[in-house]
Structure 1
Amino acid sequence: MEFRHLGRSGLQVSAISYGNWITHGSQVEEDAAGACVRAALDAGITTFDTADVYAGTRAEAVLGRALKGQRREGLEIFTKVYWPAVPSGPDDTVTPGHNDRGLSRKHIMASIDGSLRRLQTDYVDLYQAHRFDYGTPLEETMSAFADVVHSGKAHYIGVSEWRAEELRAAHALARELRIPLVSNQPQYSMLWRVIETEVVPASEELGISQIVWSPIAQGVLTGKYLPGQPPPAGSRATDEKSGANFISRFMSDEVLTAVQKLKPLADEAGLTMAQLAVAWVLQNPNVASAIVGATRPEQVHDNVKAAGVKLEEGLLKQIDEALGGLVERDPAKTESPRNIRA
């Protein structure tokens, strides 16, 4: 496993991190989730990413149980706050309240305690703002994060899907408050490159790394979705609980046909298509870690082989030629609350 520094901090994370966005507590049973976490540990992954909102708080709880008994100092555990995170399911009757969302001091303070309880840990290594909150003063949010850090409940602060100007404003406040803002967690893949024009240059200037999600474009870059054919039964594209709304943007025949052109390139490089996709995002020097998820342990073992792979310039050019104008680069497409609904 390769390890990289997170921003300009001293914290090192595994270049491949394990995330449980749509798997733990939802898509797979707990035994399978535990097997995937063990596979990640066996493969040298030390960095685990989750969020309080995933599976209505169940994902954090499943991860906490799966990591129980591991040496805490040898792990980097990340979680997030923003969306309403109350227990969900057929037997749950809790309805989110008006303060169960966003980055107010009230919500942050309640949320960090809930996350620590579910994760069965005294602290998280990285506490992330899951989105930018346009309804709360940034000063209030950063002051609350400072109190979380100074109380020892989190070691570092990060954000997710923040724009360049938002990162600059938060970084200035973080310096005043003497807290380490070290990361942004955006979507990034061969097909989705909206961070390259503005977010990455700003982050390099500020000393902030990217921890990227969906490096395989929700599975599209594995090549398993074929143009003109229905999605495989049980795949993410057929399951609304598994992010089908996110994958739909990549499911046109034009995109799927272009993706098939990547297969001979992966074969020539001695990689699976999934490994090629993960290795591709790791070529960006501002990317500290690529988050992979799994429903089976063998998926973890396959993806982790992308760590440390160096892709030649000629291959990178061939990838760009294969995908052509289908790549999304518009910074305005950032997954902001301004252009998506909860």
Structure 2
Amino acid sequence: MEFRYLGRSGLQISEITYGNWLTHGSQVENDVATQCVRAALDNGITSFDTADVYANGRAEEVLGAALKGERRESLEIFTKVYWPVGPDPKGKNDTGLSRKHIMEGIEGSLRRLGTDYVDLYQAHRYDLFTPLEETMQAFADVVRAGKALYIGVSEWTPDQIRRGHALATELGVSLVSSQPQYSMLWRIIEDEVVPTCEELGLGQIVFSPVAQGTLTGKYRPGEQPPQGSRATDDKGGANMISRWMKDDVLAGVQQLRPIADDLGLTMAQLAVAWVLQNPNVSAAIVGASSPEQVAENAKAAGVRIPPEAMTRIEEALGEVATRDAALVGRANPRRRPV
């Protein structure tokens, strides 16, 4: 495993970070999820990403139980706050980035994770309905209370990042990370988000580097998705991957196979290694449904893709990759989900 600094902070994280988004607490049985976490540790991964909303809190519980007994100082645990968590019906203050929800959110996350603090606490989306000053003051108070060491954001626009960073600086806390979707097929952060973060000292912790499994090459144009794959999952996976299930995209992905073969990589390893070629990327978040997948994903650490191979990748996917910077921030809710 190799390690990178998170932006311009002094925090080092494993460049392959293990995430338990769709799997733990929902799609994968708890014992297998625990085996995946153990496999991550065995392969040198020390950074773990989760969120309170994943599986309605169960993902944090599974991760906390799997890490129990590990030396806490040797781990970097990230979680996020924004979406409603808990029993139905949800309350009117159970979502967003109000002071109330942030303060209650961190307490719930620490309880489920079984830890006194998280290394990184991130705003899971931007809250259009709460003053940014209120949000950043609450995050600063969480840091001052020792319940989080650093703060970050997820899927914020360059302007939102810039304003949040200015307030964090005024409050004397470290806004150090941006967590966007990024892959060979989804490049919308490259034109504006990445330059803004490079200027301000934030590092990217990117999710979906394999485009929900599309870049593994398992899906072929004109063919039905394999049974048991994410594209056939009715618990949320199929919706997440649907944007890639187009013949022109899948045909472009198949052109990556000889490139991966020439480099001695699987297609998944090539996809993860590709996002890590971007110097502003501090880590790629990978998930897995088996310990074997974890071990394979971890092999993308330290891979350097030669320029000629990067050119071939561009030729294969240049026409089907999504690059529109106007799509940044579209995931931020325009109305309250509660």
The answer to whether the superposition gives a TM-score over 0.5 is yes
Name the % identity.
Answer: 69
- 1:308 to 1:234, Cα distance in 2 relative to 1, 3 A: same
Matched AA of 1:13? I
CA-to-partner distance for each residue in 1:262-306, whole Å, 9 max, x for gaps? 000000011000000000000000000000000000101111111
User: 2:15 maps to which residue?
Assistant: 15
Matched AA of 1:149? V
User: 1:90 maps to which residue?
Assistant: none
User: 1:115 maps to which residue?
Assistant: 109
User: 2:150 maps to which residue?
Assistant: 156
Runs of 4 or more off by more than 6 Å in structure 1?
Answer: none
CA-to-partner distance for each residue in 1:306-328, whole Å, 9 max, x for gaps? 11000111110100100121110
User: 1:62 maps to which residue?
Assistant: 62
d(CA) in 2 for partners of 1:337, 1:323: 27
CA-to-partner distance for each residue in 1:241-280, whole Å, 9 max, x for gaps? 2432221110101110110000000000110000000000
User: 1:179 maps to which residue?
Assistant: 173
Matched, 1:337 2:332: yes
Map 1:1-342 → 2, pairs under 5 A = 1-87=1-87, 94-334=88-328, 335-338=330-333
d(CA) in 1 for partners of 2:336, 2:83: 11
Matched AA of 2:153? V
d(CA) in 1 for partners of 2:325, 2:212: 20
d(CA) in 2 for partners of 1:106, 1:338: 19
Contact 1:123–1:153 (Cα < 8 Å) also in 2: yes
Secondary structure at the counterpart of residue 318 of structure 2:
helix
CA RMSD, Structure 1 to Structure 2 (Å): 1.2
d(CA) in 2 for partners of 1:134, 1:314: 43
d(CA) in 2 for partners of 1:238, 1:165: 37
- 1:310 to 1:339, Cα distance in 2 relative to 1, 3 A: farther
Structure 1 spans left out of the alignment, 5+ residues: 88-93
Matched AA of 1:201? P
1:119, distance to aligned residue in structure 2 (A)? 0.1
d(CA) in 2 for partners of 1:100, 1:54: 15
Contact 1:191–1:326 (Cα < 8 Å) also in 2: yes
Matched AA of 2:123? A
Matched AA of 2:38? R
CA-to-partner distance for each residue in 1:148-189, whole Å, 9 max, x for gaps? 000000000000001100000000000000000000000000
Matched AA of 1:49? D
Matched AA of 1:287? V
- 1:339 to 1:223, Cα distance in 2 relative to 1, 3 A: farther
1:86, distance to aligned residue in structure 2 (A)? 1.2
d(CA) in 1 for partners of 2:234, 2:160: 31
Matched AA of 1:337? N
d(CA) in 2 for partners of 1:288, 1:165: 21
Contact 1:27–1:242 (Cα < 8 Å) also in 2: no
- Name whichever of 315-324 and 196-205 sits farther off: 315-324
- Name whichever of 232-241 and 165-174 sits farther off: 232-241
d(CA) in 2 for partners of 1:137, 1:29: 40
d(CA) in 2 for partners of 1:51, 1:243: 17
d(CA) in 2 for partners of 1:42, 1:181: 30
- Name whichever of 239-248 and 304-313 sits farther off: 239-248
Contact 1:194–1:331 (Cα < 8 Å) also in 2: yes
Contact 1:23–1:242 (Cα < 8 Å) also in 2: no
Contact 2:232–2:238 (Cα < 8 Å) also in 1: yes
Secondary structure at the counterpart of residue 79 of structure 1:
strand
Secondary structure at the counterpart of residue 336 of structure 1:
coil
CA-to-partner distance for each residue in 1:104-152, whole Å, 9 max, x for gaps? 0000000000000000000000000000000000000000000000000
TM-score (norm 2): 0.98
